[in-house]
Amino acid sequence: MFLSQDKNGIEEWHNVVNDPSKFDIHLDNQTKFKLPSRLIAKVFLFRWIYRGPAFAYCHDPDFAVVSKSQQYWQDVIDQYYSKYYGLYNTHMKYLQEVNATGRLRSPLGRQYQFKKNKRGEFSEYEVTNYPNQGLGADVMAVARVSLAARFAKYKLRSLLISTIHDSLTSDSPPDEVEIVKELMVDVFKDLPKNIERAFGIHWNLPMLGEVSVGPNLKDLED
């Protein structure tokens, strides 16, 4: 939502942040677009963000049980674009720029060079996906540095092990679990101001973090 500054998406995100127990984006879309389940609405949204075509939905077994009609799924796609019109406009801007220059530049400075496929076309999936994934990687880089600095400040024995997509993973001794939990939540709360400090760009979205604890990555509890 940061890249597109989509008004409806930003409003929904603020509703989630203000009270996660009262607003569910995917349940709201399920109801609004008359989809059969929250899961279908969730998967549809994430695939739609990267320009998933109606043809793919009607031939996917998870969606074909809802409808095998390509027109049905095109209508849903169009309804999502009507709602998240800021995201649609951003997609169109990206595609126009890449078709004209073959390049895109992220607000945080990443440079993207795209190549045409065998049909002489640029991939819509790549053009809309890469800037989003790159932005996520930049944000998580700030989060890693921030958490490592806090470990050092409190002289913790805990180790920052890895980043898994948008998650930070730490190995911590039992007596440091509680403070690490607090630090991880604070890292995400502080991300907007730290992104601004690192990149000189105003980040106007609040950030949330959840913490899971367990003896290994398989056996985690919130």
- The per-residue pLDDT string of the chain (222 residues; one tens digit each, 9 = 90 and over) reads 899 999 999 998 888 888 877 778 888 888 887 888 888 888 888 888 888 899 998 998 888 888 899 999 999 899 888 989 999 999 999 999 999 999 999 999 999 999 999 999 999 999 999 999 999 999 999 999 999 999 999 999 999 998 888 899 999 999 999 999 999 999 999 999 999 999 999 999 999 888 999 998 888 887
pLDDT, tens digit, for every residue of 44-88?
888 888 888 999 989 988 888 888 999 999 998 998 889 899 999
How far is the C-alpha of 94 from the C-alpha of 105, rounded, in Å? 10
CB 184 within 8 A of CB 196: no
Host H or E run for residue 105: strand 103-105
In the chain, what are the domain boundaries? 7-101, 135-199
Backbone angles phi, psi at 75, to 5 degrees: -65, -40
CB 78 within 8 A of CB 53: no
How far is the C-alpha of 93 from the C-alpha of 159, rounded, in Å? 42
**Counting Cβ atoms within 10 Å, is residue 127 exposed (0-12), middle (13-18) or buried (19+)?**
buried
Q: How much is the pLDDT for 43?
A: 86
Q: How much is the pLDDT for 149?
A: 96
Going by C-alpha positions, the residue among 78, 139, 82, 81 that lies closest to residue 108 is: 139
Q: How much is the pLDDT for 68?
A: 92
Our measurement of the distance from residue 72's CA atom to the centroid of its chain's CA atoms, rounded to an integer in Å, reads 26
Backbone angles phi, psi at 111, to 5 degrees: -110, 135
Q: How much is the pLDDT for 63?
A: 84
What's the whole-model pTM score?
0.84
How far is the C-alpha of 36 from the C-alpha of 34, rounded, in Å? 7
Q: How much is the pLDDT for 40?
A: 86
Enter the CATH code of domain 135-199. 3.30.70.370
